[in-house]
Each structure stands twice: as structure tokens, then as C-alpha cells.
Amino acid sequence: MKFSQCLYENVKEIWNSYYEHPFVKGIGDGTLEVDKFKYYMIQDYLYLLDYAKVYALGVVKADTEEKMQGFSNMVSDTLNGEMKIHRSYMKRLGITQEEIENTEISLANISYTHYMLAVSQTGTLAELSVSLLSCMWSYLEIGKYLSKIPGSTEHEFYGEWIKGYISKEYEKSTQWVLDLVDELTNGISEKEIKKLTEIFINTSKYEYMFWDMAYNKGM
């Protein structure tokens, strides 16, 4: 079994709980209040700015030119690919750049990003990569799950969000991180396995906290 699949086995219950979260369910059936989605969009935009910095640290820590190029591409994919979804919604919701800059980052948000940045700055390249994986991979799985709901991808408002996270481009980016984690963890020690599993569980818990934060418009 690939190490990424071993990681997943440790968080399966946490990830399954995402599908039942009222925020995620609301996107899938189209009933989520727009003001909650707007709050989420701004917070997630701010989150992605720090998320891209973790990939940038990967460029610094990479031990081959190929990995450096890969991390560099992921910085671009985050800032110019995933955030394209956010910019589209911000236009539809009338969110200005000034509003984003004046928004206070929620405690759940800043705790999550600071955790990833701390892991990335002090840990190995494998630890950095695993800290990124939960966000990328769980959004792909959520997108796939929601896309199976009849009419969800065609919803006039939330359909664009779902389609963005099941796109070929997003799936390709996620697969790059998965493949990297599997490569970097080949033959690692039991001590490192324990550390990486802990990081993955923690970031998976942070993902749930982020959905909670979005639904409650603050935490």
C-alpha cells in the first residue's frame, strides 16, 4: 500500500465527516446561505496566500531541479489556478480588494496556516509535503462526492465551485502532491511515519475546523 493511502486510512472518519458538515452539504444541495459562502470565500482567499508560501518553501527545500520546478508550478497553480475560482465568485459577490485587505483573519484560519508554515520551516521536505496534502486532496474528494448529487454541478451559483475542484487541472495538481509524498516516504523510519501521520491527522482536523468557521462566520 502506498504511504498516501496509509495516511488516508488514519483520517477516513474525519474526511467522511466533511460530507455531512452543513456547509459542505449546503453547497451540494444548493441551500447554503450566500452570506456564509461569502465569508468563506474571503477567508479561503487569505488562506491560499499562506498556502502558496508553503509551496514556495518547497522550492527552497527541494533537493532536485525537477522538484524545484514542481513546487514552483504549484505556487502558480494556487495563485493563478485555484484562486481563479475565488476571483470569479468575488466578482459575482461584489467583494472588493479593499474588503479583503481589511478583513480580519479568523482564529481557525490563522492557526491552520501558521501550523503548516511552522511544519514547513522546521521540518523535512516530506513533512512540508504532507502538511499540504490534506487541503488539496480532501477538496478533490469533496468535489467528487458533491458532483454525484443530481444537478449539483449545474447549480447556477455553487456549480462553478464544484466543477473547479473536479477539473482535470486540479486533479493533476493534487496527483503531483500525492506522487511526491509517496516518493519522499519510500523507506522512511517508523519515527518519521509517526510524525507524518500526526501532521496529516492535524491538518485534517484543521480542515474540519475551517468548515465550521465558515458556517458560523467566525471562530
Active-site pick, 6, 171, 198, 207:
207
Summarize pLDDT for 171-219 with one digit per residue, the tens.
Answer: 999 999 999 999 999 999 999 999 999 999 999 999 999 999 999 998 7
Locate the domains of the chain by residue range. Answer: 3-216
Assign 30 to helix, strand or coil. coil
pLDDT surpasses 80 at 83: no
Q: What is the DSSP letter of 124?
A: -
* Residues comprising the chain, all counted: 219
Query: Residues 6 or more apart from 9 whose CB is under 8 A from it?
Result: none
Residue type, 119: V
Annotated catalytic residue 207: yes
Query: Residues 6 or more apart from 129 whose CB is under 8 A from it?
Result: 58, 177, 180, 181, 184
Annotated catalytic residue 6: no
C-alpha span between 101 and 121 (Å, rounded): 25
Instruction: Give how far Cα 140 sits from Cα of 38, 82, 106, 119, Å.
Output: 21, 12, 24, 23
Active-site pick, 135, 160, 169, 183:
135
pLDDT for the residue numbered 86 = 87
The stretch 150-166 carries a mean pLDDT of 96
How many other CB atoms are there within 10 angstroms of residue 60's CB atom?
Answer: 12
Confidence grade of residue 80 (pLDDT, cut at 50, 70, 90): confident
Fold of 3-216: Heme Oxygenase; Chain A (1.20.910)
Predicted structure pTM score: 0.95
Summarize pLDDT for 6-46 with one digit per residue, the tens.
Answer: 999 999 999 999 999 999 999 999 999 999 999 999 999 99
